[in-house]
C-alpha cells in the first residue's frame, strides 16, 4: 500500500478521535426532570386561593435556578467541516502534503543526528584507542607483514585546562603575541601518551631480527 494511503487512514482516525473528544466535552442535553405531580396537586387542594401565586413564584424560582444547556451543534459542525475539507483533497494534493510532512520529518531527524554526533565528538575525553596494523604500516622504516595492535591516544582535554591555558588563549585572541608566536603556542592541553608499551621484537621480511622502542601508548593523559 502506498504511503499516501497510510496517511489518509491516519487522518481519518485522527478525525474520528477528534469527534469522540468533542462528544465527550459537550454537556448532556437531557431535559430537566418533570415536577412532582402529587406534591403540586396536594398544594392546590389545600390552598386553592394561593395556588396561582405559589405556582408562579415556584416557576420563577425554578426558572432562575435553571441554566441554559449548550448545544453540541458547534462541535458537530466543526467535525463536519473538517471531514468535508478532507474529502475535497485530491490524490495529488494528498501526496504533496504527505511528501512535505515526510521531508520535514527527515530533515528534523538528520539535524538531530548531526547534533548528537557533534555532541558525542566534542564530549569524548582523552583515552586510549587501538587499531590493527602491520609493522610496515607504522612507517618507521621496517618491512614486515607481521600484524600488531597499535595503541594510540585520542580525545579532548578541555576539562583539564589550567589558568595558563586560559591566559594564553586570551593573549592570542588579543594579538599580544606575534603571528609566529601564536602559531607555535598551544593554549590547551594535548592528549598524549604518559606511558609506553614494552619493547616489541619481530622478524622482518628479510629474516632480520628487529626491536621497536616506545612505539605504542600504554596510558594517556592531557599534557
Evaluate if residue 181 carries a pLDDT over 80.
yes
pLDDT over 70 percentage in the chain: 61
Task: Evaluate whether 127 touches 154 at the Cβ level (below 8 Å).
Answer: yes
Neighbour tally for 83: CB within 10 Å: 16
Which residue is it, cell 590547551? 188
State the pLDDT at residue 88: 74
* 3-state SS assignment for residue 52: helix
Q: What is the largest CA-CA distance in the chain?
A: 135
pLDDT over 90 percentage in the chain: 30
State the pLDDT at residue 23: 54
Q: How far is the C-alpha of 151 from the C-alpha of 130, rounded, in Å?
A: 4
Q: What is the end-to-end Cα distance of the chain in Å, rounded?
A: 60
Q: How far is the C-alpha of 112 from the C-alpha of 106, rounded, in Å?
A: 10
Evaluate if residue 24 carries a pLDDT over 60.
no
pLDDT tens-digit map of 72-110 = 566 567 677 767 776 677 777 777 878 888 888 888 888
What share of residues in the chain are helix, strand, coil (percent, to 5)?
55, 15, 30
Per-residue pLDDT band for 16 (boundaries 50, 70, 90) equals low
Evaluate if residue 182 carries a pLDDT over 90.
no
Q: Which residue in 30, 29, 23 sits closest to 79, CA to CA? A: 23
Evaluate if residue 45 carries a pLDDT over 50.
no
pTM of the predicted structure, to 2 decimals: 0.45
- Which residues neighbour 215 within 8 Å (Cβ) at sequence distance 6 or greater? 138, 140, 150, 196, 197, 200
What CATH architecture applies to the domain 127-159+189-222?
Answer: Ribbon (2.10)
* 3-state SS assignment for residue 140: coil
| 52-62 exposure pattern, b = at least 16 Cβ within 10 A, e = fewer | eeeeeeeeeee
Higher pLDDT residue, 23 or 164? 164
Evaluate if residue 13 carries a pLDDT over 70.
no
Per-residue pLDDT band for 47 (boundaries 50, 70, 90) equals very low
State the pLDDT at residue 209: 93
* 3-state SS assignment for residue 74: helix
Higher pLDDT residue, 116 or 106? 106
As given in the structure block, the three cell numbers for residue 173 are 585572541
Higher pLDDT residue, 135 or 65? 135
Which residue is it, cell 583539564? 160
State the pLDDT at residue 141: 93
Residue range 149-177: mean pLDDT, rounded: 90
- Average pLDDT value for the chain: 75
Higher pLDDT residue, 204 or 118? 204
Amino acid at each position: 500500500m502506498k504511503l499516501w494511503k497510510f496517511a489518509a487512514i491516519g487522518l481519518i482516525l485522527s478525525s474520528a478521535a477528534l469527534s469522540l473528544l468533542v462528544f465527550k466535552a459537550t454537556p448532556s442535553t437531557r431535559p430537566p426532570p418533570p415536577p412532582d405531580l402529587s406534591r403540586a396537586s396536594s398544594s392546590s387542594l389545600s390552598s386553592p386561593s394561593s395556588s396561582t401565586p405559589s405556582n408562579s413564584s415556584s416557576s420563577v424560582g425554578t426558572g432562575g435556578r435553571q441554566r441554559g444547556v449548550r448545544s453540541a451543534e458547534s462541535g458537530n459542525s466543526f467535525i463536519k467541516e473538517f471531514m468535508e475539507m478532507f474529502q475535497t483533497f485530491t490524490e495529488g494534493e494528498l501526496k504533496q502534503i504527505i511528501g512535505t510532512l515526510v521531508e520535514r520529518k527527515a530533515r528534523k531527524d538528520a539535524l538531530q543526528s548531526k547534533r548528537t554526533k557533534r555532541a558525542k565528538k566534542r564530549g569524548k575525553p582523552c583515552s586510549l584507542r587501538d587499531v590493527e596494523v602491520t609493522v610496515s604500516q607504522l612507517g618507521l622504516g621496517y618491512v614486515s607483514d607481521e600484524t600488531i595492535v597499535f595503541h594510540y591516544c585520542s580525545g579532548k582535554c578541555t576539562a583539564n585546562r589550567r589558568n595558563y591555558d586560559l591566559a594564553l588563549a586570551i593573549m592570542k585572541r588579543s594579538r599580544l603575541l606575534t603571528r609566529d608566536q601564536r602559531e607555535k603556542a598551544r593554549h590547551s592541553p594535548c592528549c598524549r601518551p604518559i606511558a609506553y608499551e614494552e619493547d616489541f621484537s619481530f622478524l622482518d621480511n628479510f629474516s632480520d631480527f628487529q626491536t621497536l622502542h616506545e612505539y605504542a601508548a600504554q596510558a594517556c593523559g592531557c599534557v
